[in-house]
Homo-oligomer: A and B are copies of this chain.
Amino acid sequence: MSLIVQKFGGSSVANAERVMHVAQIVTDTYAKGNNVIVVVSAQGDTTDDLIAKAEEINPKASKREMDMLLSSGEQISIALLAMAIEKLGFPVKSLTGWQAGFQTDSTYSNSRIRRIQSERLEHELGKGNICIVAGFQGINRYDDITTLGRGGSDTSAVALAAALHADLCQIYTDVDGVYTADPRLVKNAVKLDEISYDEMLELATLGANVLHNRSVEMAKKYNVHMEVLSSMEDLPGTQIKEVVDVEKMLIRGVARDNDVARLSIIGVPDRPGVAFKVFSTLASKKINVDIILQSIGRENTKDISFTVCRSHKQAALDILENLKNTLGAKAIVCDDNVSKVSVVGAGMQSNPGVAAKMFEALGEANVNIQMISTSEIKISVLIHLNDSEKAINAIHDAFFN
């Protein structure tokens, strides 16, 4: 008998019909002789509706009360899914985050799971019950309800799979797996049978929009075998696990991220400590910097450019304007008409030609490269926003056709 954790997002349980469909998937898995734990998010627009109610009353409500409010959304969906499974005649129990033993730190609205006290879950599984667990939520040491922030329900599912040594953690979404590129952008995109944690992490971070990187990091840490698959179609998905056949494909996928802005400090005197000052100030304000480029300017000066996500653009600009005189910089420049395009693949570690092939494809497509960043398993380039779609198709054609 295997233990399978299945996670369904908000769109998968948006209405009664969808809930019944999920109940069918869950009970089919159970009927094959598996123990099943299901993690669900709040229904479709529930979270947005609750946020709107809060905004109307107090736009500056405390995060503690926001967590109290929003966690009711998953409580509704677990009860409804349990009712649907009861209707199909299977034994089932719904459990809130605290009932399922999710203990978190005390950071409201963005808490981390500290441990899962799994006695209750094990007791229910032992009695043959399907367990429906509210994702995205837990309690802190004061017994107050917390929520896990973005990607929370995926993380809940992986954490349960890790704590209970599940054989498989299935993430059901509205796509049927991980593709070599976004199928909406690249016509020839191909679904991957499997991908390693590291490759998935690079793709998640780079905007592939399938899984939040937090859940993949946790899956990697605890070696949880994941599968991404569609709740709409009965098709095999993409396996995410430690060892995959890196020889099979040179690169695993092409990703694009438009949520990026480039900032530059122009004409800083070429003295030690300038970069430290800039990036330590940004870090102290919790602004994540992605690609960094430093170049020699004229007359013993240098230019420093870096990228941040667009929501941090203004805060980063303010910091640079404040530092401008201290640093002796000539100008601060900002551009958010940019896009980051990346290729990811563990295979490139032993194949030095990947970068050259990527740059060749971009050159032939007449796309100018503004910045370049590389890791062991990925190469990213910053280009003009208007070139983004052309670039991703050119690169995908070069590697996959």
Contact = CB atoms under 8 A, between A and B. Distances in A.
Given A65-B94, A82-B65, A60 B87 contact: yes
Interface string A70-88: 0111011011101110110
A326 to B, nearest CB: 37
A66 B79 contact: yes
Copies of this protein in the assembly total: 2
A75 to B, nearest CB: 4
Which of A54, A76, A120 has the largest number of chain B CB atoms within 10 A?
A76
A76 B72 CA distance: 7
B16 A53 contact: yes
A90 to B, nearest CB: 12
A61 interface: yes
B80 A62 contact: no
Q: Which of A16, A57, A80 has the most CB of B within 10 A?
A: A57
A87 B54 CA distance: 11
A120 B120 CA distance: 23
A384 to B, nearest CB: 43
A42 to B, nearest CB: 10
A87 B58 contact: yes
A377 interface: no
A68 interface: yes
A71 B65 contact: no
A329 B145 CA distance: 61
A80 B69 contact: yes
Contacts of A76: 50, 53, 69, 72
A140 B75 CA distance: 17
Nearest to A94: B68
Contact of A62 (B78, B86, B99): B86
Interface residues of A, number: 38
Contacts of A28: none
A53 B80 CA distance: 8
Contacts of A234: none
A65 B79 contact: yes
A57 B143 contact: no
A56 interface: yes
A225 B66 CA distance: 34
A144 B124 CA distance: 12
B71 A58 contact: no
B99 A86 contact: no
A57 B71 CA distance: 22
B54 A99 contact: no
Contact of A83 (B61, B80, B143): B61
B82 A68 contact: yes
B58 A68 contact: no
A20 interface: yes
Interface of A: 16, 19-20, 50, 53-54, 56-58, 60-62, 64-66, 68-69, 71-73, 75-76, 78-80, 82-84, 86-87, 93-94, 96, 99, 120, 143-145
18 contacts: A20-B57, A54-B79, A57-B87, A58-B84, A61-B82, A61-B83, A61-B87, A62-B83, A62-B86, A65-B86, A65-B94, A66-B79, A69-B76, A69-B83, A72-B73, A72-B75, A75-B75, A96-B145
Given A19-B57, A54-B79, A54-B83, 16 more contacts: A16-B57, A57-B83, A58-B83, A58-B87, A60-B86, A61-B86, A62-B82, A62-B86, A65-B79, A68-B75, A68-B79, A69-B80, A71-B75, A72-B72, A72-B73, A72-B75
List the 5 closest pairs (A to B, CB-CB), nearest first: A69-B79, A61-B83, A72-B72, A68-B79, A58-B87
